[in-house]
Amino acid sequence: MEFNYEVEGGNFAKAGNAASSVKKVLKQLNVDPKVIKRVVVALYEGEVNVVAHAYKGNIMVDIDTARIFIRIQDEGPGIPDIDLAMTVGYSTASAMVREMGFGAGMGLPNMKRNADSLKLSSKVGEGTIVELTTNLSK
Amino acid sequence: MKVCDIVEKLNLKVIGGSEGLQNEVVGGYTSDLLSDVMGNANEGQVWITLQTHRNVMAVASLKDVAAVIIVKGLEAEESTISQSNDEGIPLLSSDLETFELSGQLYELLQ
């Protein structure tokens, strides 16, 4: 089962729409509430990252009986140093984004903590791809 | 304790989401960083913050918090109020500072 969502860079009014929609789908599929919580946190952070840093992005969510796979792909500035970006507290967010309570350098670490696997690849000047996998073992 | 009991005891104003006033409150979480709330708040907690924009309600809904209290008499944006109504999550307001309000809620939930 596959779902796709478009994310607009800079549009905070819509940030969280994909996470909210996926939450509803997972509830309907009777996925364990603990798993839903983790997926929703990871996806929301990924969505906000696209809104805060990229020009536009696409979120693909693929669900089968074994796992939930999420790919967040954006066109944006890319990440020059991924290890640094994964460090808690490190952020390149703008002052406006920080004032809203984002940009505390917690996004990627929150995503890593709430997924069973996180793969991040990025090209400076082109964009970033984040792949999150959450296992659905009974 | 329910959200409506807290509204009465802490003299809060209900700005939106009155549908959820019967939500059960299991605790509180005080933070103005949305990622901190995303990562660490729990379902059924009351979230105390000075943030007033609509992303607060998006986070509140994703985390299933019992209610949101905006401190210092700050005014919520229109879009925040309408999202609170859509989600049925109470958006409350207090004239108190974060420190005092958190302390009073803590006392109440002991």
The beta-carbon neighbor of A15 closest among B33, B55, B79 is B55
Give the CATH class of B3-109: alpha beta
Average pLDDT score over residue span A110-119: 96
pLDDT tens for A2-39 read 999 999 999 999 999 999 999 999 999 999 999 999 99
B15-34 pLDDT tens trace: 999 999 999 999 999 999 99
Report, as an integer, the average pLDDT of A103-124.
96
Where do the structural domains in chain B lie, given as residue ranges? 3-109
Residue A138, pLDDT > 70, answer no
Stretch (H or E) spanning A5: strand A2-8
Architecture of domain A2-135: 2-Layer Sandwich (3.30)
Of B35, B56, B63, the CB nearest to A110: B35
- Distance CA(A49)–CA(A123), nearest Å, equals 16
Mutation for B interface: A22, A27, A48, A114, most B CBs within 10 A: A48
CA distances, B47 to each of A12, A14, A86, A109, B71 (Å): 20, 21, 27, 22, 11
Judging contacts by C-beta atoms under 8 Å, the chain B residues touching residue A102 are: 33-35, 55
ipTM: 0.90
What is the nearest CA distance from A97 to chain B, expressed in angstroms? 11
Tell me, yes or no, if B86 comes closer than 8 A to chain A by beta carbon.
no
